[in-house]
Amino acid sequence: MIERIIAWSATKAVNQLYGGKIDPSSVVVQKTKPDFEGDFTVIIFSLVRFSKKSPETTGDELGSYLLEDISFISSYNVIKGFLNLTIRNEYWIEFLTDHFCLPDYGFIPVDENQPVVVEYSSPNTNKPLHLGHVRNNLIGWALSEILKANGKRVYRVNLVNDRGIHICKTMLAYKKWHPEEIPSFAGIKGDKFVGQLYVQYEQAAKKEREGLVAAGLTEEEAYRQSPLTREALELLNRWEEGETGVRELWHTMNQWVYEGFDQTYRRLGITFDKIYYESDTYLLGKELVNEGVEKGAFFKKDDGSVWVDLGANNMDEKLLLRSDGTSVYITQDLGTAQLRFDEFNPGQLLYVVGNEQIYHFDVLKVVLKMLGREWADRIVHVSYGMVELPQGKMKSREGTVVDADDLMDEMYQTAKKTTAALGKLDNPDDHEWQELFEMLGMGALKYFILKVDPRKNMLFNPEESIDFNGNTGPFIQYTHARIRSLLRKAAAKGFSGTDLKTDQPVELHPKEKEVLRLLNDFPGIVAEAGKNLSPAIIANYCYELAREYNQFYQEIPVLREKDQNKLVLRLALSSFTGDVLRRAMGLLGISVPEKM
C-alpha cells in the first residue's frame, strides 16, 4: 500500500531530520482532496512537536526528504499543514502491468499452522432460520473467506441447539395436537412445520398463564403451575433419562428440521466443515467443572450445585452445574471450547454470536483461565447487532419473525420486478433470466446486510437493497456485467488488455489514476478486513471501486479512443477492475454476472 510506504518514509524523516521516534501508524496519510494538486496527503500538524518549526517549513523539509527517499514520488506541494504528494505516472502504469493478470492478487497463500475455527449459525431445532440467522450466517461465511484470503486455514463449524425445554415444547405440541401429521403430507418444509408447533405451544401456554394470573396467581406462580409447562418439563426429564419413545420422536422431528435447514443453507450458499450437536456435547463440560472443584477454583453449595466466584474480575457468581447435576449453557461451552482446542489447536476460536451474549463470552474466557487454559485468550466473540424491519422487531414466540426462505423468495421477486421496471426483460420465464434474478436477489440481500459494521444494529429494507443505483449489491453486479460486456465488444474488434506494454508512454487521466489507486489499495483492504473482522470493509470498498469505475467509464472513451496505446491500457484497467470486483464480492459470498 502506498500510504504505508509513505508513512514508513515519514517516520525515517522525523528521526533523521529532527531526532524524533514515532510509530508509522501515527503518521496520517490520506487521499488528496480534489481541490488540491496531488494524490496523497501527509498531515503535518502532529509532527511539528519534533521539528519545532512551522507546519509549512516542516512540510517542505519532509517533502524534500520523501522526494529523495521514494522513487515513485514526482513532486510535492505544501498548503498550511498539509503535504500533498504526486505519484509518478510511470508507477501507476507499471503497477497495472505487473498485477492486472495475477489470478490471486490481494490474497495470501494459506498457512496450515494454527488454523482459525469459526463458529456460526448455531440454530435451535424448534424454529426455521429467520432474518437474524441470515445475518449470523452471512457474517460467519464472509469472515471465513476473508481470513482465508489473509492466509489462514479456516474451519467452519456449527453447533446445533437440538435439546432443551424449547425442543420439548414442540414435541409436546405435536403429541397433543398433530400426532398423525408429517411435513411432507402437510406440504411444508420440516423446519417450518416444527416452528409452527412451537408458536402454537407458546400461544396456548400464554393463554393458560393469563387465566391463572386472572385467578390471583403471580406471573412466576402461573408459569410454574401451568399444566403445559409441567408437561413440557416432564417430557424434558424423560428425554434426559433416555426414554426410548421420547428419544425416537425427538430424533424424527429433528430430522425434519435438518432437512429444512439444509435447503435454506444451500440457497444461502452456506456450508460447514463440521457440525456439532448439543445433545452430543452438553455433558462435556462436566469434567472440567469437576476439575475446577478439585482445584478449588469452583465451589459447591449446600444443595450440591457448583458455582464460580468471579468477583475478582468484577463479575457475579456464576452457576456451572445445577443441584440435580445437569449442565447449563456455560458448562457446555466450556466443554466444546476444550474439544475444539484439542481437535484443531486453533490460533483463534471465533464465535459469531449476537451482542446480547457479550457477558457470556467474557465469563467463558475467565472461567477457562481459572482452569489453567491459557489458550482462552484465543477466543474471540464476534458480536453483531440486531436486524430490524421497518415495522419493528421480530419475536419468535409470537411468530412475527421474517422467515429466511420467505425473505429469499421476496428478494427474487423484487429483483424480477426491478429488472422489468428498467425495461430489461424480453423473456422473464427464460432459465437464464431466472438465474439472474436469483443472483441479483441474493446479492442484494447479502450486500445490504454485510455492508453494515457487524457490531451495529441495522434496519433491513428489501426494496432499498435492490436499487440499481447507490450502495447496493446490484449496482456492483451491474458494474461487473458492464465491464464484461465492454471486454467482449473489444475482443470482437480484435483488442485485448493483455496487449498492454510499458514501453509506450501514456499520460493518465485523473479518473484512471483514481481507479488504479483503489486497485492498489485492495491487498491492504483485505488485510484490514481480516484484522478488524469486518466484512463491511470489503463491501464498502467494492462500492467505492464500482462507483469510481463508472465515473471513469462515463467520462473517458474506451472503444472510441483513437490512440491504440490508451485503448489497450483502458481495457487492461477495466479487466483488472472486473477481476477485483469479482474476487472481493466473492469474499462476501456474492456472485457477479457476466451480462445483464
- CATH 1.10.730.10 region(s) of the chain? 404-587
The DSSP secondary-structure symbol of 589 reads T
The rounded average pLDDT for each run of 10 residues, N- to C-terminus, in the chain (596 residues) is 91 94 92 90 94 95 96 94 93 92 93 92 94 95 98 97 93 95 91 95 95 93 93 93 96 97 97 94 90 95 95 94 86 94 96 95 96 96 88 49 88 86 66 90 95 92 80 95 95 85 78 95 96 97 98 94 91 96 98 92
Residue 194: the pLDDT is 96
Residue 328: the pLDDT is 86
Evaluate whether 38 touches 74 at the Cβ level (below 8 Å): no
Helix (H, G, I), strand (E, B) or coil at 229: helix
Architecture of domain 404-587: Orthogonal Bundle (1.10)
Beta pairing, strands 387-388 & 379-384: unpaired
All three cell numbers of 85:
504528494
How far is Cα 255 from Cα 165, in angstroms, rounded to an integer? 18
Residue 202: the pLDDT is 94
Residues 362-376: tens digit of each pLDDT: 999 999 999 999 999
- CATH 3.40.50.620 region(s) of the chain? 115-388
Give me the CATH code for the 115-388 domain, please. 3.40.50.620
Residue 397: the pLDDT is 45
Residue 394: the pLDDT is 44
Q: Report the mean per-residue pLDDT for the chain.
A: 92
Contacts of 356 (CB under 8 A, 6+ apart): none
Residue 504: the pLDDT is 67
How far is Cα 89 from Cα 405, in angstroms, rounded to an integer? 51
Evaluate whether 157 touches 340 at the Cβ level (below 8 Å): yes
Evaluate whether 336 touches 276 at the Cβ level (below 8 Å): yes
Residue 325: the pLDDT is 81
Angle CA(512)–CA(514)–CA(519) in degrees, nearest 5?
Answer: 95
- CATH 3.30.1360.70 region(s) of the chain? 2-87
Integer CA distances (angstroms), 200 to 234, 333, 500, in order: 19, 30, 66
Amino acid identity for residue 189 in this structure: K
Q: Which CATH number fits domain 2-87: 3.40.470.10, 3.30.450.40, 3.30.1360.70, 3.40.50.300?
A: 3.30.1360.70
